[in-house]
Structure 1
Amino acid sequence: MAEAGEGRYEIASVISRSFETVRSNLGLFAGLALILSGVPAFALNLWQTSFGVNLNAAQPDFSALLSAAYLGPLFVGWLVAMVTNAVLQASLTRATVTHLSGEKPVFAQCLTVGVSMILPMIGIGILLALGVGLAMLLLIVPGIILWLCWSVVVPVYVQEKVGVIEAFGRSMALTEGSRWRIFLTMLLVLVGLWLLSIPVGLLTVAVAATGSVIAVSLVTAIVSALGSMVMVTVQSCVYVELRNVKEGVAPADLEAIFA
């Protein structure tokens, strides 16, 4: 339950705000997502497909999967994806908050913010994965609860200019009393993305039927990048909503407070 005197977290407000933000800045958001997530994913998908290991075969060649020729580039690709994903999260978070503050986000400025935060963003990603992963090993529910507690750690760090550890504590404080609504928000967004994935899946099957490895890798990468774009934007809007209902900070005031 929320504490007395606090506002009410509105799921509809978060979702509508998220998609209005994307719609108003589609070129910027899609551009960031495709460059920072789509391109690395496309390269990795293309390489894995062209390597020729078929995991769906009756007797897949696992020796090839354990070879240095496969694991080496896979590890490099994973490192590149980790770095670009960190930049993407910070860049899109900054772009979302800037838009909701009434200003026009600029590609170069948002990308610069993302690049400047590479190392701490990677640290946040590792700590988040380790914490939630370990909690998931105990039971699914504790892992979900911990993820909800830390669900706005990225926008907290990007916007409030606090330390990494402090950002985790701040996220826990902001989400307190609203976690089940945050869960429903994310669930609705995931269901929406799943429904949209059905026609995309049919398109992928049709593309695969052509035998074009490049086309299949391209479609898969684009879908993955745009899904990441939506999720990061929603998390940023959750943060903005929490600041509003818990502290009375309107979106237009966020930039002034932390300028």
Structure 2
Amino acid sequence: MIIFVLALLVQAALVRAAIEDLNGKRPVIGDCIQIALRSFLPTLGIGILIIVTLVVAVFVMVFIAWVIPPIGWLIGLALAFIPAFMWLISVSVSVPIAVQERLGVFGSISRSRALTKGSRWSIFWLLLIIGVAAMLIQAVFTLFFGLAVATTGGITGVGVLVGALGSTLVSTIFSTMLSVTIAVTYVELRQVKEGTSVDELAQIFS
């Protein structure tokens, strides 16, 4: 939960950084952090709703699978998990909206659903590509680490530390990429659907 909240705060900070960068300015770290902290409560609220949605979807899917074996998994997937996943795609830019437009939790979610309408499949494929790339690189790292352990005849304290740091580094890189992608997606949606320039977006923070 703590890691998830921190990830949302990082995403909030990257919204500011992405807009400043797209506007040809150099992002100021302190400014980005200040804006992320200012948006902490709505960001946390959005994060909690996302977690609750996923938990409920998994619970319903497992319950249906238990009640109607052996095809219950497919029914649960169709009735619970897939709709929940598509809802998550529709609210994928809620955090940038909460940071940029300050609409609160439910206002940001509603705004995200309106803004992503007609573009959700594009967002889905974009996020899928990033997710698959992350899993592949993580798998390659795990494979090489496993080979290194097998070659040395066992795992040492240093090996554990290197493995943990490497795995954390890979996760951090792709979390950052995901956050930047969502922030840029928000900017692109505003530009395409509403003709809002990057300069106009940046002025809100001034």
Q: What TM-score, normalized to structure 2? A: 0.78
Candidates 81, 99, 106, aligned match of 1:158: 99
Candidates 94, 103, 126, aligned match of 2:16: 94
Residue 246, structure 1, aligned to residue 193, structure 2:
yes
Q: Which has the higher contact order (CA 8 A, sep 6+)?
A: 1
Give how far 1:83 is off: 4.1
Structure-2 residue corresponding to 1:122? 44
Provide the aligned length of Structure 1 versus Structure 2. Answer: 181
Structure-2 residue corresponding to 1:85? 7
Distance of aligned partners of 1:206 and 1:111 in 2 relative to their CA distance in 1, 3 Å threshold:
farther
Structure-1 residue corresponding to 2:68? none
Structure-1 residue corresponding to 2:109? 168
Give how far 1:135 is off: 4.2
Candidates 158, 179, 185, aligned match of 2:126: 185
CA separation in 1, counterparts of 2:30 and 2:135? 32
Unaligned stretches of 5+ residues in structure 2: 61-78
Q: What TM-score, normalized to structure 1? A: 0.63
For residues 125-136 of structure 1, the aligned pairs below 5 Å read 125-135=47-57
Percent sequence identity over aligned pairs: 34
Give how far 1:196 is off: 3.0
> Partner amino acid for 2:141?
V
Give how far 1:87 is off: 2.3
For residues 1-259 of structure 1, the aligned pairs below 5 Å read 78-79=1-2, 81-135=3-57, 137=60, 138-206=79-147, 208=149, 210-211=155-156, 212-257=159-204, 259=206
Contact 1:93 1:155 in 2 (8 A): yes
CA separation in 2, counterparts of 1:170 and 1:258? 19
Unaligned stretches of 5+ residues in structure 1: 1-77
| Runs of 4+ residues over 4 Å off in structure 1 | 206-210
CA separation in 2, counterparts of 1:173 and 1:199? 39
